Chain A
Amino acid sequence: DSGVTQTPKHLITATGQRVTLRCSPRSGDLSVYWYQQSLDQGLQFLIQYYNGEERAKGNILERFSAQQFPDLHSELNLSSLELGDSALYFCASSVRQDEGTDTQYFGPGTRLTVL
């Protein structure tokens, strides 16, 4: 158990809908990363937050957005869902953002299925 929690574990929805995925980082971790894992694209970085502020963006679609709240939990919002958005979504957390290279600990993921 990495200490990172993600809810829900599974999500099934229809095209065009909007969903919210939630992540709670390890106690004391200030940085949260979101990654998408799909069969054709592998594990890809989406976005990073540090202590409530966006710090880096990867291959995140405009239909997707995220935020980190004062209690440091993070939410990833996916809207106008398409079949191709079906994937595993992972959250990872680390302690710092600016000092050295921090170990990222991954949560168990949310499996999103878009029908």
Chain B
Amino acid sequence: GENVEQHPSTLSVQEGDSAVIKCTYSDSASNYFPWYKQELGKGPQLIIDIRSNVGEKKDQRIAVTLNKTAKHFSLHITETQPEDSAVYFCAATEGAGRRALTFGSGTRLQVQP
């Protein structure tokens, strides 16, 4: 089955700086890669996703890049704000034909004001 590794486990940045979180996946048949933000006491909230036919996607301060050859994808947050502080999870589908998500272990992002 799919295995997703996520780094770093914790990340502390100053407000206004950029933050980068990286994930690798094992199943070359995986074709969908969402990123979720989870705040304390809440469920995961989708912030951006990318499909395997696209190399990069941007939504305001958030961008995701995908390298299918190397089987890794990254989340980039620019101009970080204190409200960006949360746990971020990357995920990948479990391969072609399956829709369940395999999640990375999470990155706790702290943005210092």
Q: Which residues of A contact B (CB under 8 A)?
A: 2, 4, 31, 33, 35, 42-45, 48, 55-56, 58, 90, 94, 97, 101-109
Contacts and interface: CB of A to CB of B under 8 A. Distances in A.
A114 B12 CA distance: 34
Contacts of B98: 56
Interface string B40-68: 00111110010100000000000000000
Interface of B: 31-32, 34, 36, 42-46, 49, 51, 89, 91, 93-94, 98-106
25 contacts: A33-B101, A42-B103, A42-B105, A43-B44, A43-B89, A43-B91, A43-B103, A44-B103, A45-B94, A45-B100, A48-B99, A48-B100, A55-B99, A58-B100, A90-B43, A97-B99, A101-B93, A101-B99, A102-B99, A103-B46, A106-B36, A106-B43, A107-B43, A109-B42, A109-B43
A56 B1 CA distance: 13
Contacts of A31: 99
Contacts of B93: 101
B100 A2 contact: no
A42 B106 contact: yes
Given A58-B100, A94-B99, A107-B43, A101 B106 contact: no
